[in-house]
Chains A and B, each alone.
Chain A
Amino acid sequence: MTQLSYRAAFALIVKRDLMIAFRHRDDIVNPLLFFIIVVTLFPLGVGPESTTLSRIAPGIIWVAALLATLLSLDRLFKSDYADGSLEQMLLSPHPVFILVLAKIVAHWLLTGLPLILIAPLLAVLLHLHESSYGALMLTLLLGTPVLSLLGAIGVALTVGIKKGGVLLSLLVLPLYIPVLIFATSAIDTAAMNLPYSGQLAIIAAIFFASLTLAPFAVSAALKVSTN
């Protein structure tokens, strides 16, 4: 029997998830549209003064990114659970860690990355301070993978529950708070032309910690959910 290397197994799953998503494009586009619409609602709600908007822009963009990620999380395991492919993956002769990580990476490529790409556009709409763009992009780059990683724990726990959607947000959103705090603070600090590497370093630390720990929690949770 040819034993797949870890890297090959990882690539196999990422490729499959990307292929499925590209054949089902709504799943990629809808969270993005949601992101854009939520951001659009804020100027309508708080008024169009550019000072107010640029003051709250980092918070709005980040909260909208959290919510958009939350909406897209279902895709991570739900359909695989429903049609039995998740079982097959868990029974494959690869460490569950690798499989889970591959699925999370695919999820990030399909939601986190598009969010990052579209964020500058929304920042323009919200009159984000010019010197903040770099910080916005960097925090999103380091922060959105954390959203996928922590979110995966929530989905893995709720995947077997029939009405898990609302429950998922209850479980996951509190875990997103540290990323939100440090990311928005980094962007605010950048607006004042001060160095924000401290906040960035903390987000990076959170990223690496969740990268190493979250897949274990996800594996354990999936074992419970498929029991």
Chain B
Amino acid sequence: MSNLNAKIEATSTNINPLLRACGLTCIREERVLFEALNFTIAAGDIVQIEGPNGAGKTSLLRILAGLSQPYDGNIYFQETPLAQQREAFHQELLYLGHLPGVKDEMTAQENLEFNLALHGLHTGSAEKTLSEVNLLGFEDAFASHLSAGQHRRISLARLWQSQAKIWILDEPFTAIDKLGVKKLEALFLQHADNGGCVVLTTHQDLSLPAERVKKVTLAYRFS
């Protein structure tokens, strides 16, 4: 099948495919965002989804994470459809969307600890992890007193503890300073080298080596 409306570099017929999209079609409010999209994401891949606003980047990420249902098509995780192995897939998935999922009524540390515990990770080193995202000294501050950037960093802190293979990140660099971006990029590389994969959208240019980043470019469609 051809990908009529998207330019795709991530179709490497790799020996170790983690996620495979097959004939994905997404329709939102009667507008076709993308149609019959096929690609494979393998261990070691860093995939950047590109496209103008409204092209369906977020929708694609949400479909990949299993949060949204595509109008047509299927997602396969290790060659089995997502719907048949929800819990096993979620074990291997870390998805961070537009919303940081941080509760105002809890402190930075409590938020992180809850997020870690929810995904079955040890909460012991939460404090150390917060220092990775420059939140040392804010552990006991209620999230309501923290800025949007700090909320995002609380949610990103999970990356340092994560043992999930598939990272799906929607605009992870929003409200993050240059140094933070560098640190995250280094983390992505390390994750990919350890047999994981990263799928992300971003408006910024990645400073990762070009040969490491595969791009999926979605076009804006008017119909």
Contact = CB atoms under 8 A, between A and B. Distances in A.
Within the complex, are A and B direct neighbours (CB within 8 Å)? yes
Given A23-B105, A83-B102, A88 B67 contact: no
Contacts, number: 81
Given A87-B95, A91-B67, A1 B101 contact: no
B100 interface: yes
Contacts of B110: 19
A84 B100 contact: yes
A16 B120 contact: no
Interface residues of A, number: 28
Nearest to A12: B117
A226 interface: yes
Contacts of B104: 83
A23 B107 CA distance: 11
Given A12-B118, A87-B95, A20 B101 contact: no
Nearest to B68: A227
Interface in A5-29: 9, 12-13, 16, 19-20, 23-24
A167 B186 CA distance: 48
B118 A19 contact: no
Nearest to A15: B114
Contacts of A16: 103, 106, 114
Contact of A92 (B66, B68, B119): B119
A2 B122 contact: yes
A4 B117 contact: yes
Contact of B101 (A9, A24, A84): A84
Contacts of A84: 97-102
A91 B103 contact: no
Contacts of B88: 93
B118 A83 contact: no
Contacts of A2: 120-122
Given A12-B117, A20-B103, A90 B67 contact: yes
Contacts of B120: 1-4, 92-93
Contacts of A79: 103
Interface string A81-99: 0111101111111110000
A227 B97 contact: no
Interface string A72-112: 00000001001111011111111100000000000000000
Contacts of B106: 16, 19-20, 23
A83 B90 contact: no
B97 A12 contact: no
A24 B143 CA distance: 14
A93 B103 contact: no
Contact of A24 (B66, B105, B119): B105
Given A92-B119, A227-B67, A85 B91 contact: no
22 contacts: A1-B91, A1-B163, A9-B118, A16-B103, A19-B110, A20-B103, A23-B106, A79-B103, A83-B101, A83-B104, A84-B98, A84-B99, A84-B100, A85-B102, A87-B99, A91-B66, A91-B93, A91-B95, A92-B118, A92-B120, A95-B87, A227-B67
